[in-house]
Amino acid sequence: MTQERWDAVDDYVARMLLEEDPVLEEVLRVSAEAGLPPIALSPPQAKFLYLLARVHHARSILELGTLAGYSTIWLARALPADGRLVTLEINPDYAAVAAANTHRAGVAGPIQIKIQPALDGLRELIAENAGPFDLIFIDADKEGTPDYFRHALSLSRPGTVIVTDNVVRAGGLADPDTEDARARGMQRFHELLAAEPRVSATTIQTVGSKGYDGFTLALVER
């Protein structure tokens, strides 16, 4: 199995199951032109997240790692009219591109882009009593994931769903000798999950246009 085959299947799925979306294509084009790295969710992944938010009837969503706002727009589209979405981004240039993109997509209304390190943003949200959020999507720097997850729990309620992306790291997750700081971060994240009685979680391995990786789905139970 090759990357070429995984790309072909993602293209097939997008062609068959995702409607043509000139706005999102423009979002990706603008993002590339502005020099942002091509690390947004793939269209099938983003639609999965959108469907999850809809299945869960999420009215309040917290995202860590905005980039150009691609996943943010998908998530915002899943919100009801009175929904809200807070997204944290450390890079002000990326946040500016994301803000323009959310306007372009006509979903800027419920979105608050907080330009600050995720940990500071999380602490601020906790201090402001801004939770609980129905769905939390953790997709910022991977080394910080364990800390982000711990703080996300303080912004949760029983029933909150926490999705964490890029946890498998081409198998590095299961390599006890890995020296990759991001893979080690995801191992610590799994150790936290394993020791956390309030949460039930699983991790799904994926292949696709983003390579071999995976995500964790965690349900806050109490």
* Residue 88 within binding range of ligand SAM, rule CB under 6 A: yes
Omega before 37 within 30 of 0, i.e. cis = no
Q: How far is the CB of 67 from ligand SAM (least distance, A)?
A: 4
Q: How far is the CB of 204 from ligand SAM (least distance, A)?
A: 17
CA distance 135 to 163: 8
For residue 130, list its beta bridge partners.
Answer: none
Other Cβ atoms less than 10 A from the Cβ of 100: the count is: 16
- What's 78's DSSP letter? T
Nearest to 86 by CA among 65, 57, 55, 56: 65
Among 28, 48, 91, 212, binds ligand SAM (CB under 6 A): 91
Q: How far is the CB of 106 from ligand SAM (least distance, A)?
A: 17
Residues in the interface with ligand SAM (CB under 6 A) total: 19
Q: Please report which helix (H) or strand (E) contains residue 165, including its range.
A: strand 161-165
* Residue 70 within binding range of ligand SAM, rule CB under 6 A: yes
For residue 82, list its beta bridge partners.
Answer: none
Which residue number, 118 or 207, has a Cβ lying nearer to ligand SAM? 118
* Residue 90 within binding range of ligand SAM, rule CB under 6 A: yes
* Residue 139 within binding range of ligand SAM, rule CB under 6 A: yes
Q: How far is the CB of 161 from ligand SAM (least distance, A)?
A: 16
CA distance 155 to 127: 10
Q: Which residues sit at the interface with ligand SAM, rule CB under 6 A?
A: 39-41, 65-67, 70-71, 88-91, 94, 117-118, 139-141, 144
